[in-house]
Amino acid sequence: MKKRISFGHAMAATFLAIAASMSGTAAAQSAPASSDADKWQFTAGLYGYFATIKGTIVSGTSSTDIDLPFSDLWDALKMGFMGELAVHNGRWGAFADTLYLDVGSGKLTKTRNVTVGGATFPVTTSESADLKANVWTLAGEYRLMSTPDWTVDALAGARSLYIKAKIDYSIGPILGQKETSGTVWDGIVGVKGRYSFGDQREWFVPFYVDVGTGQTSLTWQALAGIGYRFHWGDAVATWRYMDWNGKSGKPIQDLNLNGPLLGVQLHF
């Protein structure tokens, strides 16, 4: 039995309006290299992610398809948070970032005519859907290159994905509910950094890529874009793609997030 969550055609939207960001994204925009290699450097970032979410999760013999165009998320968004913290000292560093999303489709009600024994009568049906997702990325990093133009770090760590889809429905007086959920953990390795340019090297190109496996067959993430450095921190505009390909028998068969990301970072 296959269910489908589709969040209609609403007004323009955000994957996380007023929400903060995460997952690889903070990693992708590391703080500028310091002339004092022994000083602790900290970064905190807030972002909005305008993404489309697609995927399939399985529970027993049934599956649920997820299809959330970013243009629907403004109306569907109940709660969201994305944020990251990073620390660096000399060549070594670490970061932790998280993404939380709770969206719902609202109740869709229809009336259909049903014929039984030659008699036709109306039957009212309704359906509402809810999706929750949480992604954590934790990694250590080692600085491979630090010049006025280039900052490049290698990273290794882990990423977890939790997702829960629920559908409530009624057919006349009959009420029902379909719920599917699951969590997967994967180890990841990758590289991140930035290329700076301009008269004062105030412009930069952030980049990030990782790949991993574990409880999924393959997960990977890529991000690139443009940023501008102010005295208080950075403003960034990037494109980010995240993907999970599940293993047979696991609840999460596939999932991908794809879209632009806007945000700010504070360095201290």
Q: What is the pLDDT of residues 182-220, one digit of tens each?
A: 889 999 999 999 999 999 999 999 999 999 999 999 999
Q: What is the DSSP string of 127-187?
A: EEEEEEEEEEEEEEEEEEEE-SSEEEEEEEEEEEEEEEEEEEEEETTEEEEEEEEEEEEEE
Residue 208, pLDDT score: 97
Report how far residue 241's alpha carbon sits from residue 243's, in angstroms, rounded to the nearest whole number: 7
Whether residue 235 contacts residue 242, with contact meaning beta carbons closer than 8 Å, is answered with no
Residue 19, pLDDT score: 35
Q: Which fold has domain 2-104+131-159+185-267?
A: Lipocalin (2.40.128)
Percentage of the chain lying above the pLDDT 90 cut: 44
Q: What is the pLDDT of residues 66-94, one digit of tens each?
A: 777 877 766 777 778 888 999 999 999 99
DSSP 72: G
Of residues 150 and 14, more confidently modeled: 150
Q: Is pLDDT of 169 > 70?
A: no
State mean pLDDT over 142-165.
94
User: Tokens standing for 147?
Assistant: 């010049």
